[in-house]
Structure 1
Amino acid sequence: MSELAGERRVSLFEHAGGAPAFQALAAALHERCLADPVLNHPFGHPGQHPEHVQRLGTYLAEVFGGPPAYSQTCGTHFGVLDLHARMGAEDDLGERFVRCFVLACDDAGLPADPEFRAALRDYMTWAAADVMQYSPPDSQVPADVTMPHWTWDGPR
């Protein structure tokens, strides 16, 4: 964890407000994506897991320093990437997703301080690029990808 003036800095998870904050963020992000004409299809398809929003919140919470609940109950990062792979997504899908994420942070009432928001945005920019690299129909996700963990200073 980063140090600030010689003191231990709380995780991004703690700073956000814990699990409830990430559940609110997941719900807001889902709504934003449903309202987007390009993101609507991947977020509104009938085969989506019935607990998608809750699982998304749990995933984000773990990434930002929360408990490993996603990894323990839902699967691995390989599963997340493989689920989104080979979609032949439009080139701007990642950028659209990041825009929705940034706006969803406001919708969810997450802390507005610039350093915190920059850390969240930097993660989602990285994550969107990570997903998009596996978008071509012949893509193969490496089996050994690990769960990302993001701090105030970026990936850990």
Structure 2
Amino acid sequence: MEKQIPTLYEWAGGNVALEKLTQVFYEKVFQDDLLYPVFKNMSGDHSKHVAHFIGEVFGGPKIYSEEDAGSHYKMIGHHLGKMLDEPKRKRWITLLLESCDEQNLADDPEFRSALVGYLEWGSRIAVINSRETENPLDSAEPMPVWGWGETGGPYIPK
């Protein structure tokens, strides 16, 4: 019998773990002088939507795209015109990884490598898109999928 490799979603602890993680993370964001101005007007359920997005990208159920009526196109749209920069990106990652540690999210090297790889990839794309005024994606663009080490290839702007 062949061993089934769990998804990153399963390894992280599923939806409950990701929702708790994003809740703790956004509590930090609201107390951070650098990031608070970017997120001060976010909806009350923003942290859950982010957890659902990450969960779906990490191989979990399609809560973000089906129940939250989200899409990759809509997620990119949330970043348009935000004018994010490298200090904000780095702080975002630092606070999220601190939150992972506090929540005892899986800390084995393989999971952390995949998680940090995704955060680096996604946050750098967020910075690029934050300088745009129009969404560079087609509305039918599929959700990204992240696994145990593969990337999506080089970023090529449309």
Q: Please indicate, yes or no, whether the TM-score normalized by the shorter chain is above 0.5.
A: yes
> Aligned partner of 2:59: which letter?
G
TM-score (norm 2): 0.85
Secondary structure of 1:150's counterpart equals coil
In structure 1, the partner of 2:67 is 73
Q: 1:38 aligns with which of 34, 38, 51?
A: 34
In structure 1, the partner of 2:87 is 92
Secondary structure of 2:37's counterpart equals helix
> Aligned partner of 2:40: which letter?
G
On the 8 A contact 1:29/1:104 being kept in 2, the answer is yes
Query: Separation in 1 of the partners of 2:101 and 2:77?
Result: 29
> Aligned partner of 2:74: which letter?
G
Kindly report which structure 2 residues correspond to 1:135-154, keeping only aligned pairs within 5 A, or say none: 135-143=130-138, 144-154=140-150
On the 8 A contact 2:73/2:135 being kept in 1, the answer is no
Deviation readout 1:97-144 (Å, 9 max, x if unpaired)? 111111111122212111111111110110001111112254542225
Calculate the aligned-residue CA RMSD, in Å: 1.8
On the 8 A contact 2:38/2:82 being kept in 1, the answer is no
Deviation readout 1:40-96 (Å, 9 max, x if unpaired)? 112222xx2221111111111111111011011221111011111111223322122
Q: Name the CA shift for 1:127/1:32 in 2 (closer, same or farther; >3 Å).
A: same
What is the total number of aligned residue pairs between the two structures?
A: 149
Structure 1 unmatched runs, 5+: 1-5
On the 8 A contact 1:23/1:54 being kept in 2, the answer is yes
> Aligned partner of 1:133: which letter?
I
On the 8 A contact 1:148/1:155 being kept in 2, the answer is no
Q: 1:52 aligns with which of 26, 46, 49?
A: 46
On the 8 A contact 1:25/1:108 being kept in 2, the answer is yes
Query: Separation in 2 of the partners of 1:71 and 1:155?
Result: 21
In structure 2, the partner of 1:3 is none
